[in-house]
Amino acid sequence: MPQSTDLLQGTLDLLILQTLALEPMHGWGVAQRIQQLSKDVLQIGQGSLYPALHRLEYKGWIRSEWQTTENNRRAKYYRLTQTGKKQLATELATWDRLSLAIAAVLGQATEASS
C-alpha cells in the first residue's frame, strides 16, 4: 500500500463535495470512493470525515436523509444542495488556480536548481 498523503487543509471539503456531486452517498461510501479514486493515496481518517460532513451540512452545502442501502440497511445519505453545487464550482476554480500556481512555482524552482 502506497504511503498515504496528509490532506491539505480545506481540500477535504472539496473532495467530499466532488464525491457527492456524482451521486448521493453515505459516509462510508464517501471514504471508500475517495480512497479508490486516489488509488489509496488519500486515506481519510474517520476522525475528520464525520466532523467535515457535519460542518458542510451546517453550512447548508449538503443535506442528509436516511435511506435504505442495496443491502437493506438504514444509512444516512448525503446529497449536494444548490448552494453546495455553487460552492463546489468556486472551490474547484480556486483549486485549479492554486495548483497551477504551485506547479508554476515548483517548475521554476526545478529550472533554477538544474
Partner 1 sequence: MISELLTRLRFLIFRKRCRELDEEIEFHLKQAITTRIAAGMDPAEARRRALIEFGGIEPTREQCERQRPGWWIGTVMQDVHYAFRGFGRNPLFTLSVLITLALGIGATTAVFSVVDRILFRPLPYAEPSRIVSLGFVHPLERQEFVMGRFYVEWQKDQTPFSALAAQSTGVQNCDLVENDPMPLNCISFQASFLPLFGISPVLGRNFLPEEDRPNGPAVVMISYGLWKVHYNGDPHILDRMINVDGRPVRVVGVLPKDFQFPTLEAADIISPFAFDPAIQQTVNGGFGYPMRLFARLKPGVSVAQAYAQMQPLFNGDLKWFPPSAKSETRLSIRTLRDRETQDARPVAWVLFGFVLAVLMIACANVAGLMMARGAGRQRELAVRSAIGASRGRLIRQALTEAFVLSFAGCLAGLAIAKALVLVFVRLAPTGIPFVSKAHLDLRIGLFAALISCLCAVIFGIATALQKPRLAALNAKMSMSRNHAFLRRSLVTTQIAISIILLSGAALLLRSFTKIEKQNLGIQTDGVLAVKVAVPRLRYNTNQKVMDFYLRLESSLRRLPGTRAVGMTDSIPPGGWQDGFRLSDLHVQGKPPIPPGTGGTVVGRSVTPDYFRGLNIPIMRGRNFADQDRTGDEREVILSRLLAERLFPGEDPIGKRFLPGAHVSGAGAIVVGVADNVKNSGLTEQSEPEMYTLRRSVSDDWGGNHLMVIVDSAMPVTAIEPWVRSEVSSIDHTIPVEMEPLNESLNRLADRPRFETTLLGFFALTGLLLAIVGLYGLIAFMTTQRSHEIGVRMALGATRANILRLIAKDGLRMVLVGSAVGLGIALATSHMLKTLLFQVSVYDPLTYILVPLLLSLVALVAILIPARAGTRVEPAVTLRAE
The two most distant CA atoms of the chain are separated, in Å, by 59
3-state secondary structure of 76: strand
Q: Is 1 in the site for partner 1 (CB under 8 A)?
A: no
The number of residues that bind partner 1 (CB under 8 A) is 21
Q: Is 85 in the site for partner 1 (CB under 8 A)?
A: no
Q: How far is the CB of 3 from partner 1 (least distance, A)?
A: 16
Q: Annotate each residue in 21-60 with x if it binds partner 1 (CB under 8 A) or - if it does not, as one string.
A: -----xxx--x-------------xxxx-xx--xx-xxxx
- What sections of 6-81 are H helices per DSSP? 11-22, 27-37, 46-59
For partner 1, which residue of 5, 67, 83, 99 counts as binding (CB under 8 A)? 83
CB 31 within 8 A of CB 46: yes
Going from the C-alpha of 30 to that of each of 39, 76, 77, 91, 98, the distances in angstroms are 14, 12, 10, 18, 24
Q: How far is the CB of 67 from partner 1 (least distance, A)?
A: 11
Q: Could you list the residues that contact partner 1 (CB under 8 A)?
A: 26-28, 31, 45-48, 50-51, 54-55, 57-60, 73-76, 83
